[in-house]
Structure formats: structure tokens, C-alpha cells
Amino acid sequence: MTRILIVEDEDRIVSFLEKGLRANGYTTVAVGDGDSAVALARDDSFDLMILDLGLPGRDGRDVLRTIRARGERLPVLVLTARDGVDDTVGSLEQGADDYVTKPFRFEELLARIRLRLRTDDRGGETTVLQVGAVQLDLRSRRADSGDRTVELTAREFALLETFMRHPGQVLAREQLLSHVWGYDFDPGSNVVDVYVRYLRRKLGEGTIETVRGMGYRMPA
Ligand code: CA
């Protein structure tokens, strides 16, 4: 079981992260301040830390400095504020392994986490997904339907990947919205329906089914 330590003081982001990570099979522990993070990082049972830089009291930079000074090699993925260029460069210099700028899409964060865990040699991740006639190569970002290659935009790709990771499962609009578009998106938006239409147009009408009153499903 891969365990992720989340260090973030904003409840809304913590719950967004925990929900998404748990749905993808990770175990999570969340703390909201730097001291707890430094204490918990001693625990060898974590595989990765997601670290917000702006924390009350001891901030993320200080956490990073402290644990690296102690010689801990736990992979750290930093969350930085928009336009925090100095933060980003500084945190990488201080021993962060990667960073994601807020606001971020869940799929983007997940890709960074997977990449980091893979580099760290901890898991043999699948890189090609296949559901029915549709095949998605996550590494080359290539989509095929039968023997035809389909051009997808980044958003279409992220949405299709979400469906393909949950074949046969009904996914609610809100779930898809937060997963693919991020936590800052208006929950009343119809953008999911619009993109499902795009995918159907490109991959065939039957590729994604509407489940009335519940959401959408990609038949397994
Ligand atoms: Ca914060």
C-alpha cells in the first residue's frame, strides 16, 4: 500500500486531495502545520509527501530544509501558489523533487505522483489502458480506436483517461469535474457534458453511455 503524507492547511484542498488519492488506491494522512510534518516525516512508512509551502508557523520551505538536513530522502512534491516562481526554484534547490502550481487539476498532480513513485522504483505502473476498442498510451499520450489513431486535446485525454481507469463504473458529473477540471471549477458548469460529446464524436457514440440522473459510464 502506498502511503502519502499531505501537509496542507486549507481544508478544501485537503479533502480534494484525500478523496482523489484514496479513489486511486493510495492511503493518506493529512496534517495542517509544519511541526507535525517534520515529526511525521521521520516515520519510514510514507512513500511520498505533498507539501504546501504556505503553512501557519513553520512554513513549507522550513519543513523541507529540516527534513533534508536530517538526511531523509522521502520524495517531496511541493504545492506552490500561482506566480510563485521564486518559491518554485527555491524549493527545488532545497530538495523538493517536483512541484505543482495551484490551482491544479487532480489528474496533473496524480501524474506527477506516479512519475515520482516510478522513478523511485516502487511500482510497476500500467502505461497503456485498454477498454473495448479504445486504447490509451499514457506515456506517448496517444489514443487509438480500433486501428485508427484519434487526435485528442489535453482535456479530452484527461477525461477519457478517467473513464478508462474506471471501466463499467458510473462517474458523476461533479466527480469528473473535480477530477479533470480541478477544485476551482464552477460545479454548475456543463463543461463535462460538452466534453463527453466531443469524445463521442471522435470515438463513436457508444463509447460513453449516459446513465440518467447519475452521470456517465464507459462500458467495460
Ligand atoms: Ca496554505
Tens-level pLDDT at each residue, the chain (220 residues): 789 999 999 999 999 999 999 988 899 999 999 999 999 998 778 999 999 998 988 999 999 999 988 888 899 999 987 666 667 667 777 788 888 888 888 988 999 898 888 755 444 456 788 999 999 988 788 899 999 999 999 889 989 999 998 899 999 998 888 788 876 667 778 899 999 999 999 999 999 999 999 999 999 8
Task: Tell me how far the alpha carbon of residue 86 lies from the centroid of ligand 1, in angstroms.
Answer: 16
Task: Tell me how far the alpha carbon of residue 3 lies from the centroid of ligand 1, in angstroms.
Answer: 21
Task: Tell me how far the alpha carbon of residue 211 lies from the centroid of ligand 1, in angstroms.
Answer: 38
Q: What is the DSSP letter of 41?
A: T
The amino acid at 176: L
Q: What is the DSSP letter of 206?
A: G
Phi, psi of 10 (to 5 degrees): -95, 115
Helices (H), 41-84: 60-69
Task: Tell me how far the alpha carbon of residue 205 lies from the centroid of ligand 1, in angstroms.
Answer: 43
Overall pTM > 0.75: no
Task: Tell me how far the alpha carbon of residue 202 lies from the centroid of ligand 1, in angstroms.
Answer: 40
Cell numbers 460513453: residue: 208
C-alpha cell recorded at residue 131: 477498454
Task: Tell me how far the alpha carbon of residue 194 lies from the centroid of ligand 1, in angstroms.
Answer: 33
| Lateral strand order in the sheet of 48-52 | 27-31, 3-7, 48-52, 76-80, 98-101
Task: Tell me how far the alpha carbon of residue 159 lies from the centroid of ligand 1, in angstroms.
Answer: 28
Among 9, 4, 7, 43, CA closest to 20: 4
CA distance linking residue 41 with residue 83, whole number of Å: 28
CA distance linking residue 84 with residue 48, whole number of Å: 22
Task: Tell me how far the alpha carbon of residue 13 lies from the centroid of ligand 1, in angstroms.
Answer: 9
Task: Tell me how far the alpha carbon of residue 32 lies from the centroid of ligand 1, in angstroms.
Answer: 8
- What DSSP assignment string belongs to 99-161? EEESS--HHHHHHHHHHHHHHTT------EEEETTEEEETTTTEEEETTEEE---HHHHHHHH
Task: Tell me how far the alpha carbon of residue 117 lies from the centroid of ligand 1, in angstroms.
Answer: 24
pLDDT at 174: 85
CA distance linking residue 4 with residue 108, whole number of Å: 16
How many CB atoms lie under 10 A from the CB of residue 201?
10
How many CB atoms lie under 10 A from the CB of residue 63?
26
